[in-house]
Amino acid sequence: MTLGTGPERRARGRPRAWGDTSAQNKIKSLDRALVILERLSEWDGASLTDLSEDLGQSPATVYRVLFTFEARGLVDFDAAAQTWHIGAGAFHIGSRFMRRTSLLERARPFLRNLMQETEETANLGVMRDGRVLFLSQVETHHTIRAFFPPGTMSPMHASGIGKALLAQMTEKEVIGIIRRHKLAAFTANTLVTAETLAADLEVTRQRGYAFDAEEKNDGMRCIAAAVFDIYGEPVAGVSISGPSARLPDARIAALGESVRSIAAQLTSALGGPKQG
């Protein structure tokens, strides 16, 4: 028997309305609940009043959502402080996403090599919704070190990995991210104008690595390079991060070459093009 290939044929698991992005296909109550969960994940604990006022929803509605999530382990309630926190259940779900891709498995030994070669914390991140999402980290053995747990989000313009990926985008794409997320200032060194960011990205393209000179956190520096897939498209970035005292100006060029080299090796492992 020959299976048909006409319009009536569709992938299992997809309704007839597949591709219809109109509001009628959105479960509004679920959408509101997920907004609450996402907002809570950005806070280091929040009271019911904080969340309801921040989101413009009634305390009763927010409480019912949080109570439901608590039953599933997605959020926790600190009775002593009367605050809500993201729960272990949310981490378990997120970790399953990270197991989907071979990028994490392939990248791990390269991150270890990078950490051992530079003696600084090595990181792996990707772009998600115009921001950097950190996926993996191999920490240095130094007592003072940078720490970006998996799931941490960071603005593109104030991140080494973010700037490494921005440098691979078109001017139109970069402008789109700037318009959406703005260029917020975090330190006196943050690049807060389109002109200064564009100049920095041009230097990044020329030397093959990005440099975050205390642009997100005072006293912390980061060096990063882009990783490419089999199609030559930037899919991730690797970086090292550490205190400025251990990453002085005199070491940046040599460390930058180490980061660029490891990124090129990971690119090759993913089947990507040879990097110069």
Overall number of domains in the chain: 2
Residue 10, domain member (yes or no) = no
| C-alpha span between 64 and 184 (Å, rounded) | 34
Please give the Cα distance from 40 to 44 (Å, whole number).
8
Asked whether residue 179 is assigned to any structural domain, the reply reads yes
Strand order in the sheet with 121-128: 153-155, 131-138, 121-128, 234-243, 220-228, 210-213
Q: CATH number, domain at 64?
A: 1.10.10.10
CB neighbour class for 270 (10 Å; exposed up to 12, middle 13-18, buried from 19): middle
Q: Which of 91, 118, 143 is the last residue of a domain?
A: 91
Q: How far apart are CA 46 and CA 37, in angstroms?
A: 11
- Say yes or no: 134 and 242 in one domain: yes
6 assigned to some structural domain: no
12 within some domain? no
Q: Do residues 198 and 262 share a domain?
A: yes
Closest CA to 114 of 275, 257, 273: 257
The reply to whether 3 falls in a domain is no
With 0-12 CB in 10 A as exposed, 13-18 as middle and 19+ as buried, what is 275? Answer: middle
Q: Which residue has the tokens 């792996």?
A: 124
The helix or strand, by DSSP H or E, that contains position 112, with its residue range, turns out to be: helix 102-118
Q: Is the pTM higher than 0.85?
A: no
Shared-domain flag, residues 55 and 110: no
The two structure tokens encoding residue 205: 């393209």
Residue ranges of E strands in the chain: 75-78, 83-86, 121-128, 131-138, 153-155, 210-213, 220-228, 234-243
Q: Are residues 118 and 199 in the same domain?
A: yes
Reduce the DSSP state of residue 65 to 3 states and report it.
helix
Measured distance CA(33)–CA(40) in Å, rounded: 11
Residue 181 lies in a domain: yes
Whether residue 31 sits in one domain with residue 78? yes
155 with 256, same domain? Answer: yes
Give the per-residue pLDDT at 2: 38
Residue 2 lies in a domain: no
- Are residues 232 and 110 part of one domain? yes
| Domain-terminating residue out of 91, 109, 138 | 91
**Contact present, 73 and 228 (Cβ < 8 Å):** no
Question: Do residues 55 and 62 lie in contact, with contact meaning Cβ atoms separated by under 8 Å?
Answer: yes
Within this chain, do residues 65 and 120 fall inside the same structural domain, yes or no? no
Tokens at residue 90, please? Answer: 């949310």
How much is the pLDDT for 20?
Answer: 52
What H or E segment, with its residue span, contains residue 199? helix 194-207
Same domain, yes or no: 60 and 79: yes
As separate numbers, helices (DSSP H) first and strands (DSSP E) second, the chain gives 9, 8
**Shared domain check, 49 and 137:** no
- CB-CB contact of 146 with 127 (8 Å): no
We report the CATH number of the domain holding residue 159 as 3.30.450.40
How many residues comprise the chain?
Answer: 276
Residue 248 domain-assigned?
yes
Q: What is the mean pLDDT of each successive set of 10 residues along the chain, which is 276 residues long?
A: 42 53 72 92 90 93 94 93 91 67 85 96 94 92 75 92 97 95 96 97 96 95 95 94 95 97 94 79
Q: Do 112 and 64 reside in the same domain of the chain?
A: no
Q: 49, 71, 91: which is the final residue of a domain?
A: 91
Instruction: Say what the pLDDT of residue 214 is.
Output: 95
Q: Are residues 134 and 245 in the same domain?
A: yes
Q: Which domain holds residue 172?
A: 101-269
Phi, psi torsion values for 254, nearest 5 degrees: -65, -45
Q: Which two tokens stand for residue 42?
A: 């950005």
What interhelical angle do 48-55 and 28-41 show, nearest 10?
Answer: 120
Question: Which of 249, 183, 182 has the alpha carbon at shortest distance from 214?
Answer: 249
pLDDT for residue 234: 95
